[in-house]
A and B are shown apart, each in its own frame.
Chain A
C-alpha cells in the first residue's frame, strides 16, 4: 500500500454472473456450418446486394428480411485494417502481442473482426491476403475460426499459346515487306511492354511491385510468360527508393536477363525524382541495355489528388534540348535503341528538331504517355493527332497512368501501335481490383489483341520491328 494510506481499507468485490446469448436461428446456422462444414456463410440482401458476415436476419438499411439468402463465402480474404494488441489482460483471447484485424472475406461486403497469426505483427499490411484456420476444438462461437493466417497464393500466369498456355497467340506468318521496319501501318504483331516498377509505385500500395533484383527477375519472367516481349525498369534500393547506383541497376538488369534471356530490357533514363543528368545517363551507357527511355521535354511531373486537385508533390522533370541531344547521341553510339517518350505534341516536335542533326537511327520508336500530372490526359482524337504527326519509319507504343492505361492501349492496338502496361503506370485491373502483379495487366493486354484479331510479337520479332540489333 502506498505510504500515507495505511489506514485506508479497500473492500474487495467480485461478481461472477452467468450470461448466455442466443445466437438465434440465423446465427446458429452460421455457427453450425462453421463447426460441421468448416465453411463461412453470409447472407445477401437482394435489395442492396450486400453480403453480410457474420450474418444477420435483417438488412437494417433496406429493412429487408434476408434470413434465407445464404451465400457461401471463401475462407480467404483481405485485411482492410488492423491493430497490434500488446498489453496483457485476463480477457485477451490470445497471448500478446497479437494482431486484431478487419478481414474482408472473398464474397462478402462487410469486413469481420478476427485475429491474424503466423506472421510477425510488423509484417502485417492492409491489403494482405489471409485465410481462416479452423479451431481443433469446437467452441460454438466465432472462435471456431481459431485465427487467420497469411495466404501464400499460387501465382498462375495465363501463358502465351505457343508455350502451351491458353493465352494469346504469337504471330507465325511472314511479315509483309511494306510493314517491316516500323512503318506506322497496321502491324499484325503487337509488342507488349511491362513496366514493372517505375519510380513511385511502392509496396504499401501493392506488394508485387519489385524492389530486389530477384523480384524483378521473377516478375519479368511471369510477364514474359503472359506475353510481354520487353520490360521497362527503374531499379530500386532495398527500401524501395529509385536508384542511379550502377551496380544495383546492373544487378537488376542482369537478374532479368539471366532468368529470361529472351526478354528485351528497357532501362529508364529518368530514374526518379531529383537525379542529375549525369546520374541519369551514366548507368545506361555503362550497362548498355538493348533499349532505354529518352525524354523529350521539360515539364511538370507532379503528384496530385485527382479528385480534389490538391498538390502533394510538385516536381519539374528536366529534359532540355541538350539532354535530349546528348542522351540520344550516347545511346545511339552505344547501340542502345532509344524509346522516345512523348508526353505531348511539343515533345514530339522537340525530338523532330534534334533529329535534324541526324543522331537517330531508323526505325524510330515512340511511346505516347498519358495521364501524367503535367502532361496530357488521354483523348482518342489527340491520340490520332500524335500518331499522324509521326515521321516515316516510326513505331509507337503507349502507356497511361491509372485509369488512362486501358483506354490508351486499346486505342494504340486498334490503330496499329503497341502496348505498355505494368505497375509503374497502373496497379488495377479494368474491373477495379488490385492486379496480382504486372503480369496480370499483361494478361489483360493480350486479351485486347485477341479481341482485335491481332497476335503478340516474340522478343525477336519485337527486335525486328523496333530495329534493335541484338
Chain B
C-alpha cells in the first residue's frame, strides 16, 4: 500500500472539546456542539468566517436522527459553507480527521473544521449497533458491542492469571490518566492495590469482560480544525503536522474467521500498522512514537491491541503494562487523556484521539501533558467489525 501523493502539508491548528459527561440535560445537540466549536475557533485564533468547509460525523441511528448535520448547522456555524457528513461507525471521528487532511491537502479548502459528536444519553446505543447485524440471521442474536473473545484469547495464550492482571492493570492506569484530565466522563481514582478486589467483584458482562473494563456511554463533542501549511504558519499556536494516515476496513462478522489457526487472518490493526510504518520508514514504532492515543473500548482490548499496533510478536505488550511503562511518564505513554474508558462519545471518540495526540505534540494538554518533548504522536480509531484508522502527527516538518 503505497503512500499517496500529498499536494501540500496540512496541520492541526485548533482543538475544542466539551466536558464529557452523561448529564447534558442543559443543552440540546446543536448547543452542545457549539461549545466545542467555540473552543476550537478560539484555540486556533480564528472566526467561523475563516472556515471554508465543515466535516460532520457521528454514529448512524444512535440518536435516531436522519441527517443530523442539517439540524446541527445551528451549532456548527456551517451556514452557507460546504459541508460533508461522514459516518463510518466507531472510526467516524478518525475518518473525519482523514477527510479533513485530504480536503486541505487536495487544495480544495484551506481551512476545514471537523465536528465529531455523540449524545448517547438521548438515544439507544445497543439498539443502534444491533442494526449493524445481518437482519436475517444475526439481529435477533446480537448483544451489541460487547464481546468476551479477546479475554478468552489472551487467557488461552498467557494464562488466566497473567492475562486478567494485565487487563486490569491497563484499566487502572487508564483511570489514573483520566483523573488528570478534567474533560473525563469517568475517573474513579482507582489504585493498583484494588486490582484483586476488582478482578473478583466487578460484575462480568460477557466472559471475563467486566463492567469496570468497559467504556461508558458519554455525551460530548470534539472539534478539530485543519489548515494548509501557509495558513497554519500564520496562526498563533504552533501547527501540528499530519504526516500520514491509513484506513483499513474489512467487512466480516466476528464468527466468520474466528480462531482457526490454519487460516490466520491478520487483524486490521496489525495490517494498518504494518503498511503505515513501512511506507514511512519506521522500523520500531515503540521507539519512534512519544505518545499513542489509542481507541481502547475496554481494558482487554487496550492491552491486546498494543501488540498489533506496535507489531509485537510475543509478550512485549504485557511487559510494557506490567512495568507501568505505558503510564504518562513511562517509556511508551498510552492515552494520557484516559482513553476511551474515560469518555466515549462515540462519534467524537476517534477524533478525540487525534485531538489529544495533537495537544500532546503542542504541549498544551495541561494536567495530563507528558513530561518532556513530544515530537511524534500516533492516534488510532476503531469501529465496525474490527476496523482501523491510524494517523501520525509530527511537531516538525522533517520527514
Residues in A lying within 8 Å of B, measured CB to CB: 11, 13, 15, 17-27, 56-58, 60-61, 63
Contacts and interface: CB of A to CB of B under 8 A. Distances in A.
A24 B31 contact: yes
A13 B34 contact: no
B34 A58 contact: yes
Question: Which 3 pairs between the two chains have the least Cβ-Cβ distance?
Answer: A17-B127, A24-B28, A17-B124
B24 A63 contact: no
B131 A21 contact: no
Nearest to B78: A60
A91 to B, nearest CB: 13
17 contacts: A11-B136, A17-B64, A17-B128, A19-B123, A20-B121, A22-B121, A22-B122, A24-B25, A26-B28, A26-B31, A56-B74, A57-B30, A57-B31, A58-B30, A60-B30, A60-B75, A63-B47
Given A15-B131, A17-B127, A19-B122, A63 B74 contact: no
Contacts of A26: 28, 31
B26 interface: yes
B322 interface: no
Contact of B24 (A22, A27, A56, A58): A22
A17 B63 CA distance: 10
A20 B63 CA distance: 8
A57 B64 contact: no
A142 to B, nearest CB: 13
B74 A21 contact: no
Interface residues of B, number: 33
A58 B74 CA distance: 7
B64 A24 contact: no
A23 B123 CA distance: 14
B77 A60 contact: yes
Interface in B1-53: 24-31, 34, 38, 47-48
A61 B74 contact: no
A131 to B, nearest CB: 27
Nearest to B49: A63
B73 interface: yes
A227 B28 CA distance: 54
Interface in B66-115: 73-79
A409 to B, nearest CB: 42
B371 interface: no
Nearest to B125: A17
A22 B28 contact: yes
B135 to A, nearest CB: 6
A11 B77 CA distance: 44
B139 interface: yes
Interface of B: 24-31, 34, 38, 47-48, 63-64, 73-79, 119, 121-124, 127-128, 130-131, 135-136, 139
Given A11-B136, A17-B64, A63 B28 contact: no
B27 A22 contact: yes
B33 to A, nearest CB: 10
A48 to B, nearest CB: 12
A57 B128 CA distance: 29
A57 B30 CA distance: 9
A57 B29 CA distance: 11
Contacts of B136: 11
B124 A19 contact: yes
B73 A60 contact: yes
A57 B48 contact: no
Contacts of A27: 28
A23 B28 CA distance: 5
A56 B131 CA distance: 32
Contact of A19 (B64, B77, B135): B64
Given A56-B74, A63-B48, A13 B135 contact: yes
A58 B75 contact: yes
A112 to B, nearest CB: 14
B122 A21 contact: yes
Scoring B27, B127, B136 by chain A CB atoms within 10 A of each residue's CB, the highest score goes to B27
B34 A57 contact: yes
B75 A19 contact: no
Contacts of A58: 30-31, 34, 74-75
B139 A13 contact: yes
Contacts of B131: 15
B77 A57 contact: no
A229 B48 CA distance: 59
Contacts of A21: 28-29, 63, 122
A262 B299 CA distance: 94
Contact of B27 (A13, A15, A24, A63): A24
Nearest to A9: B136
Contacts of A20: 121-122
Nearest to B48: A63
Contacts of B135: 11, 13
A15 B73 contact: no
Nearest to A20: B122
